[in-house]
Structure 1
Amino acid sequence: MADTPTRRRTILKRSGIGAGVFVLLIVLLILFWSWDWFIPLVESRASAAIGRNVTIAHLHVRLGRVTRIVADDVEVDGTQQFPDKLAKVKALEIAIEVLPLIRHRDIVIPLIDVRQPAVRILGDSKGNNNFTFETGSGGKSKENQSSSGPQLGVLKIEDGHIHVDDPKFKALADIDVETRGAPDPFVTPLPKNQGEIVADGKGRYAGQPVTLRFVGGAILSLRDKTRPYPIDLQLANGPTHVRLKGTIEQPLTFGGARLSLNFAGPDMSLLYPLTGVPIPQTPPYKVTGQFDYSKSLIAFRDFEGKVGNSDLGGTISAVPARIPTINADLHSRNVDLADLGGFVGSKVPGKADTKTEAQKKAAGAAKSGSVLPDTPINVPKVKAANIHLTYRGSHIENPDVPLDDITARLDIDNGVIDLKQLDFKVGTGRIASSVFIDPDNGMRTKAHADFDHLDLSRIMQATHAFHGQGVLGGKADLVSNGNSVAKIMANGSGGLTLVMSGGGDISALLPDLAGLEIGKAILSAIGMPSRTPVQCFVADLPLKNGIMSTDAFLLQTGEARTVGQGTVNFRDQTIDYSLTTRSTHFSVGSLPGPINITGKLSSPSITPGAEVAARTGAATALGVVLPPLALLPTVQFGVGEAGACRAALSDVQEHPAAHGQAGTRSRAAHHPRHTHH
């Protein structure tokens, strides 16, 4: 067909109409375009990524070399148990550079701007919470994932707020978060100073008021391996203060940390909610050291400080797990044993009485007859962690105790306490002990102690009344259960053996017993001068079901020889004992003879007394009721040959007792039991 002018005009006309329709459609698309059409796609991708439903009210995109995407009113749902929104964000803006994405598929994000974020962290007493995400891959790093990832620039947080409410940790707090000093993200190159993230919070944690202040580098600078990431965290939980300050070279892995950690407060036991490490009560403390962290180990290294009057240093490390493993290697140059009182249930210096009124009444009622502490032994939450501890104290500073140094080795596994070693140096000798406690088995306790060649001059130094020298040896065993010293002794079985060969005067050997002024009364009753020298002392005292009996009790002085028989009942804290004395110079008439000590340990009765015995004279039989040869192995135990005691026992054999009973409450002569030696 010929190309006529009419046909050409028709074609041009149709083409013009088509082009006009296309242009019109473009104009209409521009006029009516809405980025909100893509909201369902963005919501589904975001929800799948974090495992929570994400909603967006509006979506805005400004195209250009740097495309800026803004999502308004972003919300993240909570859980069925915690229906409140986990997070709300007034506006979330992300800037993306287009050319690197097109040319090299590199994701360059110069700016993330989060405006008015509000996060609610909620939990319950059973440990459930609203911030644990259950996704197939969310929150888990992938080994094969590109190590470079997106190139991030500046993160801005404007007017952020975090609310925490978790009854399990007794936590209720509000934290304000914002970015300060953030640079212009579109300046090239980006300034090294990308601002800092600042968080200020207050509320309550573990039942105590809590305040915190955190100042750190900009969050996105965490990925910058060329600059250390700065941290300054200050936390006050009740009277406990913690500060962590320094830098981290590899922030995402916490590698290359140069952080100083400082703890200070009135009592280390208050650290448990912050550290998860159970510690008994202590006096006021302040320690500073280096903190390091990795996925497999948390360490507080080379710290030094003071706990009460004692210095403390060493390293503590923890292997994170559901039940963490704590390894501690501690040391002190000078230690006051009073500062360790919380570990054995005694009063810690400077601690106020926190007993309830009922406890105070019970304690007041017990004062009339009780001399043993009934305060529960402070066994912390031992199942919270497995602990392996060594401790060395080079010098013990306490004028009231005769100890020179201390070495301890402790293991706690699954709540079982195994104090493998608790040794004290005493002059040229040593006290070596061990304790095993199973809290799940009625506080089942096994304890053993050896007293080896103890220097009496060092022991008596604490009495300020020592004259002469000598050696003390022996051992002690105890198997029992109970949560206080009084209950352990009331239920205990075992025994105590002590031998002293040569030594101080009698005033040093029998001071005020258990804090009660009966020592001088006993000396007066048995007719001994307060400063007569002690030549030999032997005691072999078995303990069975809370009752301590006597297999042997001999006291040889420069003036007389005293033999004891009887029992001490720790169940009701009473004593039923007799002491029979004879003069080593045979001046029998000048000595009062046997006496009886009976009644409550707190206030025993001593009869017949010096005056009554003097009237009875020869009518009172004097004697020694123990076979001396059977004691020779006991004498040698812990003191070597013990010549003074050997001589004293030989003298007993050469000058036996008069016939008859040794006192109204004395036991008949019998062979001592030595099966436990």
Structure 2
Amino acid sequence: MAEIPYTESVDDVRSETPPPARRRDTGTHTLATGISILATLIGLIFLAWLVLFVTKGRFLKHTFERIASSHTGRAVKVAGDFNLYLDPFATKFLAEGLTISNPAWASKPNLFQAKLIDTRIDTFSFLFGDQSKVNWINLVDGAADLEWDAKHQNNTWTFGKSGGKPFQMPLIQRAEIDGTTARYRDPSMQLSVDVAFQAIHAQDNKVGKAIRFNGDGTMRGRPFRLWGSQSSPNQLIAGGANKFDLHAQGALFHIDVAGNLPGATMIEGADLTVGARGPNIRYLFDLIGVAVPDTRTYRLTSHMVKQGQEYRFTRMTGFYGASDIAGRFTARVPANSDERMLLTADLKSRHVDIIDVGPFIGYDPAALATKGATAAATTQHKGDGVPRILPDAPLRSDSIKTFDAKVNYTIATITQPFVPVSNIVLGVDLNRSLLKLSPLNFDVAGGHLSSDISINARVPAVVTEYDIRLSPTPIGKLLYKSGVADAPASGVMTARVKMRGVGDSLRKSLASSSGRIAIILPKGTFWTQYIQLSEFDLGVFLQKLLQDKLKKPVEVNCGLIGFTVRDGIASADPILIDTDKNVMTAKGGFSFKDESLSLAFRADGKKFSLFSGQSPVGIGGYFAKPAIQIITPQLLARGGAGLALGIVASPLAAIIAFVDPGDAKSAACGPVLAGAKASAQRTTKGAPREDVGSGKSKDVKAEKQHKKFLGIF
């Protein structure tokens, strides 16, 4: 039987063929390695957390003391039990007998100490945030000392050598505080406060523990006390509101704050109601080291919201004295000591009493309230027994160095004015001790007054620059209380005051001032009952007086009442008024130094007059008590001469002493309307005028206690 040859099957061939090599998946291997490492790290972290959780981190006590002391530059010690661990996303911190020392210059040994502090701190904000967030804190018998040094450069709560930074509270959501005190001292502000916190234990779970606090302090030597309360943690857990109220009262101010807070120390975004009242708002702002003008008794209410570094007071309403006020106010607190506080405000009043303006320029508000405006003004500077008007309250130049301000204030009307005043617009810009009152504008008697005043307190001797401008204003409305009738007339006046003075009060500034004052009267008419006093035309004056027809229209061609001011002495330069019948001139002036007046007015007729006194009318005395001398020694001398002629010759000869030939030279109105000085004044024929004085300070004898009018009386 023949052999059948062996043939390999396909399966046999496949079984003997070696399998291809497997390719390694690199991505899968890397991912697996990463997961393993991450799992290991998580495991280690969990293990570390577990160790900390089980041991409560008590073994870290000395490590904490060493690291905290090194980081703060202060001695940090824990006398009793210590816990530090994650629970689970918040850091649990507990310390019994914790103390943190103060710098050597401080008056107390410790910045902080507590019998017990038990807290939960948000871990993320603690490690990465600018401000730590505390979820809950229990503080027993704690004491905090917050103190600035005498130069206001360093404080107890700023660690390291970065200087003194403003105090920033941690954001605390809930708190239980019992038997804790806080102390604050700022020598530069003359402010000290001591506050004690006490928990009130109540029955049932509606209240739990409410935190009450009270304390006292002094501000610039004046004592005050404060008190208030805050809702309990139990009430917050139940979904209740964190109600907060604070009251501060001193002899010179009272503050009330009420509202709801998001957390125990969280006022960011909270809408609080704030009320303040007192005899003078200056003492309220002294609490934060800000200088504001004095006021009479005030009462204000507003809503307050904190946004970042800003405290915004909105919907403000209230009054000061007999004047209303409303608007908004913002205080931006500096983030560090290199910056300055910025105050911004938009305020408005519908009606302001003229007396309430007095404290703004330096009058004593207490004297205004008790004595009235006239007595308060004229009883200043009692030393020499002379009544004074210009206030002498000094600018608080040291106080305005600590803040900047931008304020807009509008007033609709001024009540009880000497002249009609309305629509006042005041802009206040304080920038590093340079105070600008610009604009300071208002409508007055049918005209408009614009002014810009700059007070430079950057230099040791405060420098004030005045620039005041009056647009064409009807004379009848402006001077109606001085005898000028508010009757149909075309007479107007314009004015410009431009001066510069040195001194830290209005009186000192004007007493040293130099510059120019010019009042211009364009062509027009006005009515008056007193113009004949300056003309002193006996025939016409007596006739009108006996017939009760004293009022008469006066035709003014042009007029200039100008003064050159040198070192507080204002001399006429010139006073020249050209009317249809007379040319009126004056010599002399006044003094800002002692507020004395020494002026002599003369009116020379353009037409012949049989009975004319041709005698100057003197104005003397002081700003607060002027004296008008109509029957002058010169007139009496002329009357004596007429009497002698009447005795020696005849009664007709006696009239010769009172004859006015009517030779007055009309004024060229060009230099008058340009406000030119006396040296530039001319007659209508171009001749220099010799009847308007020299405009020199030597012409004025007002600063002398006993004086004659220009040496002619």
Amino acid at match of 2:97: D
CA contact (8 A) 2:98 2:114 kept: yes
Tell me the distance in 2 between the aligned counterparts of 1:413 and 1:95: 44
Please tell me the residue identity of whatever aligns with 1:334. H
Question: Could you say what secondary structure the match of 2:479 adopts?
Answer: helix
Partner of 2:562: 541
The answer to whether structure 1 residue 169 and structure 2 residue 189 are counterparts is yes
Aligned counterpart, 1:158: 178
Identity %: 19
Matched, 1:208 2:222: yes
Could you say which residue in structure 1 is the equivalent of 2:355? 338
Distance 2:261 2:536 in 1: 70
TM-score scaled to structure 2, two decimals?
Answer: 0.67
Q: Secondary structure at the match of 2:351?
A: coil
Which amino acid is the alignment partner of residue 290 of structure 1? Answer: H
Query: Which residue of the other structure, out of 426, 433, 440, is the alignment partner of 1:408?
Result: 426
Change (3 A) 1:343 1:260: same
Pairs within 5 Å for 1:234-253: 234-249=247-262
Task: Report SS of the residue matched to 2:485.
Answer: coil
In structure 2, the partner of 1:438 is: 456
Deviates more, 1:618-627 or 1:207-216: 618-627
Instruction: State the partner residue of 2:603.
Output: 581
Q: Give deviations 1:204-260, integer Å, cap 9, x for gaps.
A: 2232111111322457999x9987643211112432111121124477764432111
Partner of 1:261: 274
- Counterpart Cα distance in 2 of 1:34 and 1:428: 82
- CA deviations over 1:185-206 (Å, ceiling 9, x no partner): xxxxxx8967433211113223
Of structures 1 and 2, the larger Rg is shown by 2
Distance 2:286 2:178 in 1: 31
1:180–1:325: structure 2 CA closer, same or farther, 3 Å change rule?
A: same
| 8 A contact 1:372–1:485 mirrored in 2 | no
Contact kept? 2:446, 2:474, Cα under 8 Å: yes
Matching residue within 405, 415, 424 for 1:397: 415
Matched, 1:86 2:111: yes
Separation of aligned partners in 2, 1:209 and 1:668: 59
Distance 1:362 1:196 in 2: 54
The structure-2 alpha-carbon separation of the partners of 1:618 and 1:450, relative to structure 1 and needing over 3 Å to count, comes to farther
Identify the match of residue 75 of structure 1 among 69, 87, 99: 99
Provide the residue aligned with 1:505 in structure 2.
Answer: 528
Output the CA distance in 1 between the equivalents of 2:99 and 2:306: 34
Counterpart position of 2:198: 178
- Say yes or no: does 1:129 pair with 2:152: no
Match of 1:453?
A: 472
Contact 1:212 1:233 in 2 (8 A): yes
Distance 1:203 1:153, change over 3 A: closer
Q: Is the 8 A contact 1:479 1:494 kept in 2?
A: no
Q: CA separation of 1:169/1:319 partners in 2, compared to 1, >3 Å: closer, same or farther?
A: closer
**Displacement of 1:50:** 5.7
Q: Is contact 2:604–2:664 with CA below 8 Å preserved after alignment?
A: no
Query: What residue number does 1:307 align with?
Result: 320
**1:47 CA drift (Å):** 4.3
Query: Could you say if the C-alpha distance between residues 214 and 110 of structure 1 is closer, same or farther in structure 2, counting changes exceeding 3 Å?
Result: same
Distance 2:261 2:575 in 1: 67
> Which of 452, 473, 476 does residue 497 from structure 2 map onto?
476
For residue 330 of structure 1, report the CA deviation from its aligned partner.
1.0
| 8 Å CA contact retained: 2:535, 2:603 | no
Q: CA deviation at 1:165?
A: 4.4
> In the alignment, what sits opposite 2:405?
387
Change (3 A) 1:488 1:122: closer
In 2, the alpha carbon distance for the partners of 1:79 and 1:428 equals 65
- Offset at residue 303 of structure 1 (A): 0.6
Between the aligned partners of 2:175 and 2:349, the Cα distance in structure 1 is 47
Equivalent residues of 2:119, 2:137 under 8 A apart: yes
Q: Secondary structure at the match of 1:333?
A: strand
- 2: CA distance, partners of 1:524 / 1:375: 42
1:287 aligns with 300
For residue 103 of structure 2, give the secondary structure of its aligned residue in structure 1.
Answer: coil
Aligned residues: 572
Work out which of the residue numbers 625, 628, 649 in structure 1 matches 2:667. 628
Other structure's SS at 1:411 match? strand
Q: How does 1:576-655 map to 2 (within 5 A)?
A: 577-583=599-605, 586-587=608-609, 589-595=610-616, 597=618, 601=622, 606=629, 607-616=632-641, 618=656, 628-629=667-668, 631-632=669-670, 634-635=672-673
Give the 5 Å matches for 1:187-198: 195-198=209-212
Could you say if the C-alpha distance between residues 182 and 626 of structure 1 is closer, same or farther in structure 2, counting changes exceeding 3 Å? farther
Supply the RMSD in Å over aligned alpha carbons: 4.9
Is the Cα–Cα contact under 8 Å of residues 432 and 451 in structure 1 kept in the other structure?
yes
Q: CA 1:614–1:211 in 2, change beyond 3 Å: closer, same or farther?
A: same
User: What SS does the aligned partner of 1:611 have?
Assistant: helix
The unaligned stretches of length 5 or more in structure 1 are 1-32, 97-107, 142-148, 185-190, 354-359, 511-519, 638-648, 671-677
- For structure 2, the residue ranges without an aligned partner over 5 or more in a row are 1-54, 122-132, 372-377, 642-654, 676-680, 697-713
- How far apart are the structure 2 equivalents of 1:418 and 1:426? 22
Distance 1:39 1:561 in 2: 99
Distance in 2 between the 1:624 and 1:181 partners? 100
Q: Does the CA-based 8 Å contact 1:234-1:242 persist in structure 2?
A: yes
For residue 397 of structure 1, report the CA deviation from its aligned partner.
1.1
Which deviates more from structure 2 when the two are superposed, residues 573-582 or residues 426-435?
573-582
Shift of 1:407: 1.0
Whether 1:466 aligns to 2:492 is no
Q: Kindly tell me: are residues 50 and 661 of structure 1, through their superposed partners in 2, closer, same or farther at Cα, counting changes over 3 Å?
A: closer
Take 1:361 and 1:311, find their aligned partners in 2: how far apart are those partners? 28
Tell me which residue corresponds to 2:38: none
The AA in structure 2 aligned to 1:174 is D
